[in-house]
Structure 1
Amino acid sequence: MPQQHDLEPHRDGTAQRLNWLRAGVLGANDGIVSVAALVVGVAGATTNTAVILTAGVAALVGGGISMALGEYVSVSSQRDSERALIAKERRELLESPEEELAELAGIYRSKGLSEETSWQVATELTKHDALAAHLSAELNIVENDVASPWHAAFASAVAFLIGGLLPLIVILLPPAAWRVPATFVVVLIALAATGLVGAHLGGSSRLTAAVRVVVGGALALIVTFAIGALLGTTGIV
């Protein structure tokens, strides 16, 4: 019979995998909404295919770069904070090992272990890997599992481009009269899918997540189309 630890997933790399998965889902969702809202707005003002294509490509490229940069900056800040905490913990272990051992024992005691057991656990974990024990118990950090900003940036940019291509392709294929309705339908279905995937990764309600992104996306499309139609009918554009 396999041991319990053989059945459990290893934590190494978990944060990085979840990080780029999260960035990918958010990037795809943003790509769908951003590009769809822009091309629908332009389509509300004009039926000129070249204009719609130009606006869509500009939104696709600019949005992909923006998403990558935003993710890189955000995750870099998170990584720097985690590295600073790791360095601080390593320094404290070198300067005051006895106080750190007592602190670790206190953490396990606060979780319900007896005085004797908490000291035994703290002592054995410290002998095995003091830094890892403190990072896990105090900060819930794994030293070799710090998120990578490059992974997040790449995943976000690629996902944005893939998500944004969908409404751009859909709005260019049908006749002019069907462009906006077809884009609405396809975009809302795609948003529901990204909402379900995001909820699955986050362990939240799938229905709530799907409804939330679909309603938000629908509002964005309606508002931008209305503005585009208004500008088109008034002759401003």
Structure 2
Amino acid sequence: MKEKNNLIQRNNIVRASIMGANDGIISIAGIVIGVSGATPHIGTILLAGFAGTLAGTVSMAMGEYVSVSSQRDAQEKIVQEQKIALANDYQKEFDFVYEKYSSVGISKELAHTATDEMMKKDALATTVRERHGFTIGQELSAKAAAIASMVSFPTGALLPMLAISLIPKSWSGMVTFFAVLIALGFTGYAAAYLNGADKKHATFRNIVAGILTMVVTYLVGLIFKQGGL
């Protein structure tokens, strides 16, 4: 059980890290590409990117913390409600588990035996798992997810910041654009791999989102430049 819980926690941290890096790449790429459309001044571009990185880092970390904390609070409430349900009507909870097992094709005798053994061993854990689909003691760590996001977002943001600043001006926009798309392909694939989703679809979707983000922000930057704003 401990090893399974550790695996779940690691997956949670990896998920938060991948999503943080992905958001850092696409968000800051949108900012620096957009600002470069309005001005060629590298100092202004990097300042905007740095400000976006700071804001995004705090936002991602707090978002992960609040999201995971809310999930844990909801699970804790369910556990307390289930304790009351068992105290008030144990037989009803027993029957629910038994009927659930019977409904999937298990013989009545085997379903009754399995339900009886599990309820005697840990009635609360059994009914929480069968009614609500999660296992007590495997709650995710809000702090770990927040820290993972706080580190991964600025790490992802480094790619567009470095590309736009180190590459010669005549090529910086184009190099940044394609470097970001390659990176988004990796993060999209990694996220799909972790979640068991369609890898090709997820990768393609992530790349398209990056293209749209950078094209739209660049066009907005050009509009500001032409309008003299």
> TM-score, structure 1 length as denominator?
0.91
Report the CA distance between 1:94 and its aligned residue: 2.5
Report the CA distance between 1:187 and its aligned residue: 0.1
Q: What code does the residue aligned with 2:201 have? A: T
Question: Percent identity, aligned pairs only?
Answer: 38
Report the CA distance between 1:46 and its aligned residue: 1.3
In 1, Cα distance between equivalents of 2:109 and 2:63: 49
Which residue in the other structure is 2:202 paired with? 209
Report the CA distance between 1:22 and its aligned residue: 2.0
Which residue in the other structure is 1:92 paired with? 85
Among 131, 140, 148, the alignment partner of 1:147 is: 140
* CA separation of 1:139 and 1:196: change in aligned 2, threshold 3 A: same
Per-residue CA shift, 1:189-223, capped at 9, x if unaligned? 00000010011011111111111010110111111
Alignment size in residue pairs: 229
Which residue in the other structure is 1:233 paired with? 226
Per-residue CA shift, 1:9-60, capped at 9, x if unaligned? 9532444333222222211111111100001111111121211111111000
Among 86, 95, 102, the alignment partner of 2:95 is: 102
Per-residue CA shift, 1:115-135, capped at 9, x if unaligned? 221111111111222122112
In 1, Cα distance between equivalents of 2:34 and 2:172: 11
In 2, Cα distance between equivalents of 1:123 and 1:78: 30
Segment drifting more, 149-158 vs 94-103: 94-103
In 2, Cα distance between equivalents of 1:119 and 1:207: 44
Runs of 5+ unmatched residues, structure 2: none
Runs of 5+ unmatched residues, structure 1: 1-7
The question of whether the paired residues in 2 share the 8 Å contact of 1:14 and 1:145 is answered with no
Which residue in the other structure is 1:172 paired with? 165
In 1, Cα distance between equivalents of 2:148 and 2:106: 42
Per-residue CA shift, 1:64-121, capped at 9, x if unaligned? 1011111111211111111111111122222322222222211211121122211111
In 1, Cα distance between equivalents of 2:95 and 2:208: 52
In 1, Cα distance between equivalents of 2:155 and 2:137: 31
The question of whether the paired residues in 2 share the 8 Å contact of 1:46 and 1:232 is answered with yes
In 2, Cα distance between equivalents of 1:177 and 1:146: 51
In 2, Cα distance between equivalents of 1:84 and 1:216: 37
Among 45, 54, 57, the alignment partner of 1:52 is: 45
In 1, Cα distance between equivalents of 2:131 and 2:227: 62
In 2, Cα distance between equivalents of 1:96 and 1:13: 34
Structure 1 residue 219 and structure 2 residue 212: aligned?
A: yes
